[in-house]
């Protein structure tokens, strides 16, 4: 298949995916950035000060882009989804360009299939994720570096550093890759640092500007209800294990097994390949940098933080496949695609992280939430009487952009018995699971809905004290 046809197929897939996902609202952490963009849209564009609960510390690149699109075309979900489409198409373009440097033309279609089937990337594409910007700028910067287009490279890493903190980490990974390339070519010169000067100046200037307005740099003392601090050694081990779990979760274990087996086989046979070493560098250097910088910090981690690694894993695995016999390769391809597709439905007990924002099993949640809100309106139950947790507490005006400030009360503000109603879903990132287990036998179930692997239950407190509630 000609490369142009493969590129066209990739473009068509993500255009159709965007069209299918048009009704999907903002979700999970992306709502922070929807809130930022909404503040810009309603109050006028300004970098700072943002509200402390939505200020992530980094330059608001995603929110700025969304704000500009809303100003031009309107503040709607349609515009929001289409605003991310250029970055999705850019990712496909840069990914296939990178793949074409190291893979045969025969294996490129499968490389595209792996990208399209990667659960975290696929789901985040539907959810308008801000990490999509970082993936695009990383791939664009890497291709520019390999092609020695250094002006474009310098511009791309500035934008990469402005995506979020992980973008800054990714620039560090690219810097290490650049250093290894120069070392192999024997051209190590101090002048190379000039290519990184715009990035260093831009990020430093932003950090100083932000600190003058807020008193802190990149790590918020209030966001996510806990100061982002260094962990103790034992906690670092748990964080490391958690990140390893997310690396192999959702069917990616099959890719890692194939990669490990291929590396062992190559080593045993004395197989040497410059292309494979490069692909391993693109995989393990970002992985090492991200792990090294995320493990020590007390900040919740997610599979979406490692999407750059997952995409580079696809390329490394494809290189192994092209060394296999055709018949064996086909069986392995089926195994890998089946494993990734199945990963969208892997689910763990509720007390564990299920990666709802990085697998397609979350999709029924949005329909159930809309139906539950309609039920509450029919029953004349005010949202402020309903306690719940993240992500159900998000304001509907920030998730659906419908102009309705409909928002439940955060159950973390008090014990559950102070609420007249409690709304629970297994999608909730809950810290109250023991309390929820206690109320199940005694509270009345008013409404229960389930679709796919998602459920949502509305409880009524039989011992609710109306006298202690303002307005009664």
pLDDT confidence band for 49 (50 / 70 / 90) = low
Instruction: Quote the tokens at residue 261.
Output: 């087996």
Residues 371-384, mean pLDDT to the nearest whole number: 96
Q: What residue has token string 């949502």? A: 456
Report the range of poorest mean pLDDT among 302-316, 425-439, 451-465: 425-439
pLDDT band for 222, please (50, 70, 90 cuts): low
Task: Return phi, psi of residue 387, to 5°.
Answer: -90, 145
Q: List CB contacts of 333: < 8 A, sequence separation 6 or more.
A: 110, 321
Nearest to 125 by CA among 173, 66, 80, 69: 80
Tell which residue, 472, 358, 368, 470, has the closest CA to residue 409: 470
Give pLDDT, residue 188.
61
> Would you place residue 300 in the very low, low, confident or very high pLDDT band (cuts 50, 70, 90)?
low
The pLDDT of residue 271 is above 50:
yes
Q: Work out the pLDDT band at 469, boundaries 50, 70, 90.
A: low
- Among 278-287, 326-335, 364-373, the least confident range: 326-335
What per-residue confidence (pLDDT) applies to 192?
83
Q: What is the pLDDT of residue 176?
A: 95
Q: Can you point out the beta strands (E) in 273-313?
A: none
Band (pLDDT 50/70/90 cuts) for residue 114 is: very high
pLDDT band at 471 (very low <50, low <70, confident <90, very high): very low
Of 383, 389, 393, 392, the closest CA to residue 416 belongs to 389
Write down the pLDDT at residue 225.
44
Mean pLDDT, residues 145-166: 96
pLDDT of residue 7: 96
Please tell me the distance from the alpha carbon of residue 309 to that of residue 406, in angstroms, as a whole number.
38
Looking at the predicted structure, is the pLDDT value of residue 231 above 90?
Answer: no
What's the pLDDT at 358? 95
Cα(19)–Cα(154) distance, integer angstroms: 33
How far apart are the C-alpha atoms of 315 and 108, rounded to whole Å? Answer: 9
Over range 9-38, report the average pLDDT.
Answer: 96
**Mean pLDDT value across residues 261-285:** 92
Residues 6+ apart with CB under 8 A from 32: 54, 56
Between 62 and 350, residue with greater pLDDT: 62
Question: What pTM was computed for the model?
Answer: 0.94
Mean pLDDT confidence for 361-383: 96
- The phi and psi torsions of 409 (rounded to 5 degrees) equal -90, 140
Instruction: Quote the mean pLDDT of the chain.
Output: 91
* Residue 212, pLDDT score: 87
Instruction: Say if residues 343 and 249 touch (Cβ distance below 8 Å).
Output: yes
């Amino acid at each position: 298949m000609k490369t142009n046809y493969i590129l066209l197929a990739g473009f068509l897939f993500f255009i159709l995916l965007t069209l299918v996902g048009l009704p999907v609202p903002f979700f999970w952490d992306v709502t922070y950035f929807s809130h930022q963009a909404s503040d810009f849209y309603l109050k006028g564009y300004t970098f700072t000060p943002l509200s402390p609960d939505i200020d992530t510390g980094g330059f608001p690149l995603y929110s700025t882009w969304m704000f500009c699109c809303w100003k031009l075309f309107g503040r709607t979900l349609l515009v929001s989804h289409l605003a991310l489409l250029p970055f999705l198409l850019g990712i496909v373009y840069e990914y296939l360009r990178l793949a074409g440097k190291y893979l045969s033309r025969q294996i490129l279609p499968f490389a595209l299939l792996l990208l399209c089937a990667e659960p975290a990337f696929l789901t985040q594409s539907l959810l308008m994720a801000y990490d999509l910007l970082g993936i695009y700028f990383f791939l664009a910067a890497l291709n520019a570096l390999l092609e020695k287009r250094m002006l474009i490279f310098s511009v791309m890493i500035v934008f990469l550093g402005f995506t979020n903190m992980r973008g800054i980490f990714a620039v560090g990974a690219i810097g290490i890759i650049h250093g290894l390339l120069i070392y192999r070519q024997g051209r190590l010169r101090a002048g190379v640092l000039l290519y990184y000067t715009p990035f260093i100046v831009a990020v430093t200037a932003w950090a100083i500007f932000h600190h003058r307005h807020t008193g802190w740099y990149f790590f918020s003392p209030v966001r996510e209800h806990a100061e982002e601090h260094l962990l103790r050694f034992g906690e670092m081990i748990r964080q490391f294990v958690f990140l390893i779990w997310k690396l192999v979760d959702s069917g990616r274990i099959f890719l890692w097994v194939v990669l490990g087996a291929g590396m062992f086989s190559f080593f045993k046979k004395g197989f040497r390949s410059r292309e494979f070493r490069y692909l391993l560098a693109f995989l393990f250097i970002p992985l090492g940098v991200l792990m090294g910088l995320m493990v020590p910090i007390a900040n919740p981690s997610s599979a979406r933080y490692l999407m750059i690694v997952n995409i580079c894993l696809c390329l490394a695995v494809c290189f192994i496949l092209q060394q296999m016999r055709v018949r064996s390769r086909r069986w392995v391809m089926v195994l890998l695609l089946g494993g990734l597709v199945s990963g969208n439905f892997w689910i763990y007990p509720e007390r564990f992280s299920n990666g709802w924002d990085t697998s397609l099993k979350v999709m029924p949640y949005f329909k159930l939430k809309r139906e539950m809100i309609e039920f509450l309106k029919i029953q004349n139950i005010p949202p402020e009487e309903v306690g719940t947790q993240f992500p159900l507490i998000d304001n509907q005006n920030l998730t659906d952009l419908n102009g309705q400030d409909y928002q439940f009360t955060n159950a973390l503000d008090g014990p559950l018995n102070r609420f007249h109603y409690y709304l629970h879903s297994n999608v909730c990132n809950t810290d109250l699971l023991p309390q929820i287990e206690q109320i199940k036998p005694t509270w009345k179930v008013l409404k229960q809905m389930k679709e796919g692997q998602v459920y949502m239950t509305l409880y009524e407190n039989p011992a609710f004290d109306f006298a202690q509630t303002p307005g009664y």
